[in-house]
Amino acid sequence: MSNEIHKAESSQLRPFFPDSVTPGQKTVERDVNTMGESVYLVEIAKGLGYTMGKVVQNLIGIKPGMTVRYPEVAREIPQGYRGKHRLTTREDGSSKCVACMMCATACPAECIHIIPAESEDPDIERYPQRFDIDLLECVFCGLCVEACPVDAIRMDSGVYSLTAFDRESFVVTKEELLQVKPNPAPTGQVV
């Protein structure tokens, strides 16, 4: 600390209020424009030269590097990307969900609406009569996936392009969620 004070005092810079330098205070050099900079013209010419270089470069190359031409080409999505939800199934094709309401409780957006029903199967107590997710409410945080004790809900579909013409279409039912396929490879997929 003492070193810093020493630096501030010995510096050639005059502090803005010379008497008010308190111990531990750091003196920062003011960024004052030099003569050439305050005329603007030289700096403007430099900037214009840079941007014109870019224009020429892109006119000749016509290969703007960053751009992904989305509808035709999609950017690769990373592993663990949280896309549209899907419900996993047992061997017989029924949903693994036991309607324990853990996901609906964990959901911060309260977008999961489950109506449970009693199962015929004595091994399975409950099953979801309805399992609706309002994708417009969903914040895609993935807490439902974490909360599920039976691995019934996942977000590994890789579907990120969710479009519809009305709000009702964004409320997906259990049947639709069971249809969603997992993303076979974590690459871009046009939906």
Partner 1 sequence: MHHWLDPVIVVARSALLVGIILGLVPFLVWLERKGSAYIQDRPGPERASIFGLRLAGLLHLVADAVKMLNKEDIIPSGVNRFYYLAAPIIVVAVAFTTVAILPLFDTIDFNRVGVKGWPVIAGQSLDIDPGILWFFAIASLTVYGIIFAGWASNSKYSLLGAMRASAAVLSYEIPLGLSVIGALMVYGTVSLPEIVRWQGEHVWGILVQPLGALIFVVCAFAETNRVPFDLAESESELVAGYHTEYSAMKFGMFFLAEYGAMIVSSGLVITLFFGGWQVPFLSTQALVTHAQVITQWSLGVAFAGSLVAVSVLLVNFTQRFGIWRDLRDYEPLVLAALVLGGGLTALGGLFVLMAVPLPVWYGPIFAAVAQFGMFMLKLLLVCWVFVWVRWTLPRFRYDQVMNLGWRSLLPLALVNILLTGIVITVFNV
Site for partner 1 in 25-44 (CB under 8 A): 44
Site for partner 1 in 125-154 (CB under 8 A): none
CB of 14 to partner 1, least distance (A): 25
Work out whether 68 is an interface residue with partner 1 (CB under 8 A). no
Burial label, 56 (beta-carbon count in 10 A; 0-12, 13-18, 19+): exposed
Of 21-29, 67-75, 119-127, 143-151, the segment contacting partner 1 by CB under 8 A is: 67-75
| C-beta closer to partner 1: residue 89 or 161 | 161
Nearest-CA neighbor of 176 among 138, 130, 136? 130
| C-beta closer to partner 1: residue 44 or 115 | 44
Distance CA 113, CA 19 (A): 67
Work out whether 20 is an interface residue with partner 1 (CB under 8 A). no
Q: Please give the torsion angle defined by the CA atoms of residues 32, 36, 37 and 41, in that order, rounded to the nearest 10 degrees.
A: 160
Structural element, H or E, at residue 45: helix 41-61
| C-beta closer to partner 1: residue 57 or 105 | 57
Of 54-62, 91-99, 118-126, 134-142, the segment contacting partner 1 by CB under 8 A is: 54-62
Structural element, H or E, at residue 3: helix 2-10
Tokens of 82: 């949280």
Q: How many CA atoms lie less than 13 Å away from 132 in the CB half-sphere?
A: 10
* Binding positions for partner 1, rule: CB under 8 A: 44, 47-48, 50-52, 54-55, 58-59, 62, 64-67, 69, 72
